[in-house]
């Protein structure tokens, strides 16, 4: 039986690797030696501000939960040691590093129970029903849960009490197999952050759910009040079990109505589904409406909770999409079908950017004259094809050139040569070149962000492609750029490269 499964997996999925020249893109790292990770951190990894803020935030939250947990310090230290091991062993680190937001969220959720009562903020009882009445004229959740019956109870239980807990694992498996490589780590990042930030808000701003109003009215709440399963108590009655009664009574976060993480998780799930598998939009909308109805029918959330939960998810997903997610090719079957990955370039794809002068197929080559726009003195060049100085592989770039109003540099004449220096990285960089002309007057020459749209065929990183701009304009002949980087240097976001005189070059 095992042989049959392996044979079919090889036939349906792994055989896709033979169709392109970069099979390592989709492969897993099966190494166990942690020195590979240590060497990568020492020699290749470049810390940027995004990663610094990301890991610092997770570390501070984890440190707080470490202090909250009442277990013996030896047991807690062993847990930390185990986590460090799985983070440094390559075969496990490729999953656990990107799951850190999820692990931090789970740690915060379960340890928030141990926050001292005198340090907890006051529970907000009247805010949500008041907002509900102001916005909608009534309490929608109260209306939906007035009439109940066993069929509706089961219909509401399926998305709220079952699918909600199982779907994240289903999505993770589908994204890993059928999504582009790295899409699973992006889902872990986004899913972890919506839950982590949601629980933080619930701890900092505890809000009473609709079941509290049903049971206690609008009287002030305190932390001695046990949690309630709301309408799920009827599910316990149907199955003759106390599953939800026990779970909600002993919940770590009892007063966590806002935001609704049921709504937030469902929104994140359908956004990723829609991104990778866009042909099933009606099904996603149906599921979202089904879950929203169930949360209010079971008396667990106000409608405003659902709206804000979905809004938070949308914001986190959009950030993940434009800064982390690879673009999806719907013509490909699975992760092993991908030979290259392309990511969004937010500046290049900006719909408000200046209209291009050249068409997509225009190519700058030697002795190609760049036209100028006399109205705003802007020159835009798209899809410049440049040859790598190392392996002669063609790289497709998108470059926009915006000139200042200085008359000395408006007329560049003919471009004699254009070569691009770029060391492969996940993010585009936005360089600004500052020229000093022969008269000693400094003119700013802004080069809009550019990104590599296709990689070299052998799948290796692109290194040391030189940037030289030479023009026939005599005014700039003494301030042209020549090899502003050494042959061994790499360009990373935020770097200030060394450049020769008289030309000055700066990266922002």
Could you tell me the pTM of the whole model? 0.70
Q: Which helix (H) or strand (E) holds 194?
A: helix 183-204
Query: Mean per-residue pLDDT for 3-22?
Result: 62
- Domain boundaries, position 258: 16-337
Residues 295 and 372 grouped into a single domain? no
Cβ count within 10 A of residue 478:
12
Higher pLDDT, 476 or 80: 80
Query: Mean per-residue pLDDT for 67-75?
Result: 95
Question: Which sign, positive or negative, has the C-alpha torsion 456, 460, 461, 465?
Answer: negative
**How far apart are alpha carbons 231 and 195 in whole angstroms?**
23
Most confident segment among 221-230, 391-400, 447-456: 221-230
For tokens 């106390």, the residue is: 242
Whether 410 is in a domain gets the answer yes
Residues 289 and 386 grouped into a single domain? no
Whether 443 is in a domain gets the answer yes
Residues 333 and 381 grouped into a single domain? no
Whether 82 is in a domain gets the answer yes
**How far apart are alpha carbons 203 and 206 in whole angstroms?**
6
Residue finishing a domain among 337, 358, 384: 337
Residues 378 and 308 grouped into a single domain? no
Whether 343 is in a domain gets the answer no
Cβ count within 10 A of residue 372:
15
Residues 372 and 330 grouped into a single domain? no
**How far apart are alpha carbons 382 and 54 in whole angstroms?**
34
pLDDT in tens, 411-433: 333 333 333 333 333 333 333 33
pLDDT in tens, 258-316: 999 999 999 999 999 999 999 999 999 999 999 999 999 999 999 999 999 999 999 99
Query: Mean per-residue pLDDT for 434-439?
Result: 33
Whether 4 is in a domain gets the answer no
Residues 380 and 331 grouped into a single domain? no
Whether 263 is in a domain gets the answer yes
Domain count, the chain: 2
Residues 198 and 286 grouped into a single domain? yes
**How far apart are alpha carbons 473 and 411 in whole angstroms?**
7
Residue 112 confidence (pLDDT) above 70: yes
Position 26 scores a pLDDT of 74
Residues 381 and 440 grouped into a single domain? yes
What's the half-sphere exposure (Cβ side, CA atoms, 13 Å) at 496?
Answer: 2
Residues 310 and 392 grouped into a single domain? no
pLDDT in tens, 121-136: 999 999 999 999 998 8
Residues 321 and 385 grouped into a single domain? no
Whether 347 is in a domain gets the answer no
Residue finishing a domain among 337, 353, 388: 337
Position 434 scores a pLDDT of 30
Residue finishing a domain among 314, 337, 360: 337
Whether 8 is in a domain gets the answer no
Angle at 100 between CA 28 and CA 92, to 5 degrees: 30
Residues 156 and 300 grouped into a single domain? yes
Instruction: Name residues whose C-beta falls within 8 Å of residue 54's C-beta, 6 or more positions apart in sequence.
Output: none
Instruction: Report the DSSP pairing between strands 468-471 and 442-448.
Output: unpaired
Name residue 414's beta-bridge partners.
369
Residues 90 and 219 grouped into a single domain? yes
């Amino acid at each position: 039986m095992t042989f049959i499964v392996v044979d079919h997996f090889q036939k349906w999925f792994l055989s896709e690797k033979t169709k392109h020249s970069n099979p390592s893109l989709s492969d897993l790292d099966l190494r166990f030696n942690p020195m590979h990770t240590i060497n990568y951190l020492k020699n290749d990894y470049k810390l940027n501000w995004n990663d610094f803020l990301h890991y610092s935030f997770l570390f501070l939250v984890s440190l707080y939960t470490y202090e909250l947990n009442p277990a013996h310090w030896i047991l807690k230290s062993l847990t930390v040691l185990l986590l460090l091991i799985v983070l440094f062993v390559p075969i496990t680190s490729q999953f656990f590093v990107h799951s850190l937001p999820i692990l931090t969220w789970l740690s915060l959720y379960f340890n928030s129970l141990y926050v001292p009562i005198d340090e907890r903020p006051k529970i907000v009882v009247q805010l949500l029903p008041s907002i509900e009445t102001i916005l909608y004229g009534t309490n929608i959740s109260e209306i939906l849960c007035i009439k109940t019956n066993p069929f509706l109870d089961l219909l509401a239980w399926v998305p709220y009490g079952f699918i909600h807990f199982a779907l994240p694992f289903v999505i993770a498996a589908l994204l890993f197999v059928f999504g582009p490589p790295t899409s699973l780590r992006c889902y872990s990042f986004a899913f972890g952050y919506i839950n982590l930030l949601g629980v933080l808000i619930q701890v900092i701003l505890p809000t009473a759910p609709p079941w509290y109003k049903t049971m206690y009215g609008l009287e002030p709440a305190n932390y001695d009040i046990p949690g309630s399963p709301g309408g799920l108590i009827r599910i316990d009655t149907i199955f003759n079990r106390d599953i939800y009664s026990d779970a909600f009574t002993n919940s770590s976060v009892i007063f966590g109505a806002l935001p609704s993480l049921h709504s937030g998780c469902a929104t994140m799930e359908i956004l990723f589904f829609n991104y990778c598998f866009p042909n099933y939009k009606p099904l996603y909308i149906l599921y979202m409406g089904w879950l929203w109805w169930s949360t209010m029918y079971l008396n667990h959330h106000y409608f405003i909770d659902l709206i804000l939960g979905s809004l938070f998810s949308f914001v986190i997903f959009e950030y993940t999409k434009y800064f982390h997610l690879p673009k999806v090719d719907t013509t490909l079957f699975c992760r092993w079908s991908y030979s290259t990955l392309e990511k969004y370039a937010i500046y290049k794809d900006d719909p408000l950017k200046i209209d291009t002068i050249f068409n997509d197929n225009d190519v700058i080559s030697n002795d190609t004259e760049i036209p100028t726009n006399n109205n705003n003195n802007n020159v835009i060049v798209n899809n410049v094809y440049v040859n790598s100085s190392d392996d002669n592989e063609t790289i497709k770039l998108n470059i926009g050139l915006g000139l200042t109003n200085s008359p000395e540099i408006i007329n560049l004449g003919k471009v004699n040569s254009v070569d691009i220096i770029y060391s492969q990285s996940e993010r585009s960089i936005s360089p600004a070149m500052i020229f000093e002309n022969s008269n000693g007057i400094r003119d700013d020459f802004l080069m809009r962000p550019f990104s590599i749209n296709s990689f070299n065929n052998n799948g290796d990183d692109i290194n040391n492609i030189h940037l030289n701009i030479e023009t026939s304009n005599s005014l700039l002949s003494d301030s042209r750029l020549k090899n502003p980087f050494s042959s061994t240097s790499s360009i990373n976001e935020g770097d200030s490269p060394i450049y020769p005189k008289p030309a000055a070059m700066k990266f922002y």
